[in-house]
Amino acid sequence: MSRGAIAKASGAALHITVFIEDPDLFGVQGKQVALQALAAQNRQWLQDEIEQLQGSALVVTSEIAITRTVLDEVLQHIEQLHPDLVFKDVHHESALKRVFVTPLDWHLLRECAVAVHLVSEIRSPLPRVVVAAVDPSQAHAAINQQIIQAANALAIQCDAELHLLHGFDTANTHLADFGAGAVTMPGFSSEVRRSLQLNFDHLADALGVPAQRQHFLAGSPTRVIAAFAQHHRADVIVMGNTHRHGLVRLVGSTTEQVLYQVPCNVLAVKGD
C-alpha cells in the first residue's frame, strides 16, 4: 500500500523522514565512513521515491535524521510537524501471515500523540477493503466514534469497501462477585449479547453500512479480527489505541494481540 497514493487521495502533503540510528561507538574505526555510506544509500532511496511521485500533484518533502535515540527523534518530529497521520513502514512475515513488529513500532503506538498507520508495500496502492473493528459496549463509545470516523474517511477517500466488525467473546460475559471468583448467571450471556448487538446495529445504521458488510461474530476479538482479515482479504484494520488508568496501554490489549496475527495493515486511532 502506497503512502503517496493515500496522501494524494486525501489531499494531504507528504513528509518522508528516514531515521538512521547512530550507535554510541566513539573511537570505533570506520564508524563515520559507515554512517556516511548509509546516509548516501538512503538519500538515493528518497530520491527514487520522490521521482516516482513526481507528476502526481502531491506535495512531498523529505529529510534524513541521524540520531542516537530514534524514538525520541521520531516523537520530536511529530510534535514539531503536527501531522494528521503518521505512516510507519513495516514488513510482513509471509510464512507467519502477520506483521513483523519491532520494539520501535510498539513504543510509537504507545507514545505517539496521533494516529499511526503501520503500512507495508502489499497488494494495491490504495486499500480496497477497510475494516472498522469496534467494541460496541458503552465504555468504548468515544473511541468507537473515532475509529468509525477514521475508517469511513479512509474508505471514502480511497473508494474502498467499508466493513464494521465486532468479535463477541462469550467467555467474558460474567459478573464478578467481589473476591470469590466469577459468577455466571442464567441468561446473562444472552442479555449482554443482545445489548451489544443493539449497540452494534446502531453504529452500523448511523454509518450507513449495508447488512452484508456488518459482521457481529462469535469468538474472541483477536481471533475474529485475524480470521476475518484473512478470509476477506482486508487491506486495513482500523482499531483503537488509547491510555488507560494513567498508564500507556493499548485498548484491552486487543490491538497489540491483533498485530501479531493479521495479514494486513493496521491503522491505530488515538483515543483520549
Burial of 111 (0-12, 13-18, 19+ CB in 10 A): middle
Q: Are residues 77 and 137 both part of a single domain?
A: no
Question: Is 88 within a domain?
Answer: no
Question: Per-residue pLDDT tens for 174-214?
Answer: 444 434 444 444 455 788 889 999 999 999 999 999 999 99
Question: Is 254 within a domain?
Answer: yes
Q: Are residues 13 and 124 both part of a single domain?
A: no
Question: Is 139 within a domain?
Answer: yes
The more confident residue out of 243 and 24 is: 24
Q: Which of 83, 111, 133 is the last residue of a domain?
A: 83
183: CB partners within 8 A, 6+ apart: 174, 175, 176, 177
Question: Is 90 within a domain?
Answer: no
Question: Per-residue pLDDT tens for 117-133?
Answer: 988 766 678 999 999 99
First to last CA, the chain: 28
Q: Are residues 49 and 105 both part of a single domain?
A: no
pLDDT for the residue numbered 22: 83
Q: Are residues 118 and 153 both part of a single domain?
A: yes
Cα 224–230–231 angle (5° rounding)? Answer: 85
Average of per-residue pLDDT across 239-246: 65
Q: Are residues 137 and 220 both part of a single domain?
A: yes
pLDDT at 8 over 50: yes
- Residue ranges with strand state E in 45-179: 60-67, 85-89, 91-93, 98-100, 115-119, 129-133, 161-168, 175-176
Q: Are residues 18 and 74 both part of a single domain?
A: yes
Q: What's the pTM?
A: 0.83
Question: Is 147 within a domain?
Answer: yes
Q: Which of 38, 62, 83 is the last residue of a domain?
A: 83
Q: Are residues 171 and 139 both part of a single domain?
A: yes
pLDDT for the residue numbered 248: 41
The total domain count for the chain is 2
CATH of the domain at 215: 3.40.50.12370
Question: Per-residue pLDDT tens for 54-75?
Answer: 777 788 999 999 898 999 999 9
Reduced to 3 states (helix: H, G, I; strand: E, B; else coil), residue 103 is: helix
**Alpha carbons 131 and 165: distance in angstroms, whole number:** 7
- Specify the range with the lowest mean pLDDT, choosing from 75-84, 208-217, 253-262: 253-262
Q: Are residues 99 and 233 both part of a single domain?
A: yes
Q: Are residues 47 and 25 both part of a single domain?
A: yes
Q: Are residues 101 and 160 both part of a single domain?
A: yes
Burial of 45 (0-12, 13-18, 19+ CB in 10 A): middle
CA-wise closest residue to 50 among 42, 61, 40, 64: 61
Range of the domain at 118: 95-271
pLDDT at 165 over 70: yes
pLDDT for the residue numbered 29: 64
Q: Are residues 40 and 173 both part of a single domain?
A: no
Q: Which of 33, 49, 83 is the last residue of a domain?
A: 83
Q: Are residues 190 and 64 both part of a single domain?
A: no
Q: Match 473508494 to its residue by C-alpha cell.
A: 159
Average of per-residue pLDDT across 160-178: 73
pLDDT at 89 over 50: yes
Q: What are the φ and ψ backbone dihedral angles of 176, each rounded to 5 degrees? A: -85, 145
